[in-house]
Amino acid sequence: MIVPHTSREEILSKLRKKIENRIPLFIASAGSGLVAKLLEKAGVDCINTFSGARLRANGMGTMSMLWPILDSNKQTMDYTREDVMPAIKGDAFVCACLNANDPLKDMRMVLNDLKAMGVYSASNIGPSISYVDKDSEIYRVLTKSGITLDNEIEMLKLTKEMEMVSVGLAFNMEDSVRMVEEAQPDIFCFHAGTTKGGLTGYDSGETIAQTAARTEEANQILRKIKPDIMLIAHGAAMENPTDAQYMLNHTSVDGIWTGSSTERIPIERAVLATAKEFADLRFPDNK
């Protein structure tokens, strides 16, 4: 197996050409090699790997990655190298979502290891402190112990310095502004919240119109900070293609990012329906 490699210049050139031709960018997460192969065949531009997607592949919710039950960077690196990279042809590039607050790893070393395996893009969502509500006690405890957005911003800066494509992500306006101003990522996603639907999705009750409005509010501010930034929509009420089309119709995003919508939820539905058909089989009456 020889894994195809790419470059920052090649990735950005392809993405900008799509934007010029008014074709939405498409980023999607994969928790296994099979899902990655199918996503690439469907035409995604970027396949994200991160511990949340890997845990979803095991039937757990995305937020389970926030608990200290695993080394998220090791898991991401291992399955990206062993499962995802050998499964794809190189039509899509891979972005590894990293924990920039990992106290046991030098992020320069991690990024060098990614490049060695053919991954030329990194994001700060593996997990991010931006997941945690700022008015909570756990947020105050985490930041006091050195788990900060500063580390994520520095990692994204280093990503660009090392000739990789940087993908920033944040859950609220304050963090979004800081990240775009300070890290100047190539791509940014205002994460509207955990995707609803399926067995482990979370439905906050928000409508797709509300998700679009919150996303566009962020977009308008962020484009003033960095006019050439590529903005991507993700999460909350954006569960299916109809919802995603609504986001494209009612916001100024350059594309969409799916996670559960194109891996966990379709797998749940397809396997459950097919297995149920087999489970409902019966022996003929004449035997």
Tokens, residue 178: 């800081």
**How confident is the model over 6-21, as a mean pLDDT?**
97
Q: How far is CA 255 from CA 61, 63, 177, in A?
A: 25, 24, 19
Residue with the bigger pLDDT between 280 and 193: it is 280
Residue 108 confidence (pLDDT)? 98
Q: What is the model's pLDDT at position 250?
A: 97
- For the stretch 144-161, pLDDT in tens is 989 999 999 999 999 999
* Closest to 239 (Cα-Cα) out of 251, 231, 247: 247
Q: What is the pLDDT of residues 26-60, one digit of tens each?
A: 999 998 999 999 999 999 999 999 877 767 766 66
Over residues 131-155, mean pLDDT: 92
* Tally of CB atoms within 10 A around 182: 16
- Please give the residue that has the higher pLDDT: either 42 or 237: 42
What's the mean pLDDT in 98-118?
95
| Residue 189 identity (one-letter amino acid) | C
Q: Which ranges of the chain would DSSP assign to H, the alpha helix? A: 8-20, 33-42, 51-57, 72-79, 107-117, 137-144, 149-161, 173-183, 208-225, 241-250, 264-279
Q: At what angle do helices 208-225 and 241-250 cross, to 10 degrees?
A: 40
Cα–Cα dist 58/267, whole Å: 11
**Which residue from 156, 78, 70 is spatially nearest to 111, judged by alpha carbons?**
156
pLDDT of the residue at 100: 95
Query: Is the pLDDT score of 259 beyond 70?
Result: yes
pLDDT over 90 at 285, yes or no: no
- For 72-102, the pLDDT digits (tens) are 899 999 999 999 999 999 999 999 999 999 9
84 neighbors 30 (Cβ within 8 angstroms)? yes
Domains of the chain, start order: 8-269 (3.20.20.70)
Q: Which of 270, 267, 265, 261 is nearest to 211 (CA)?
A: 261
- Tracing tokens 């590894």 back to the chain, one arrives at 96
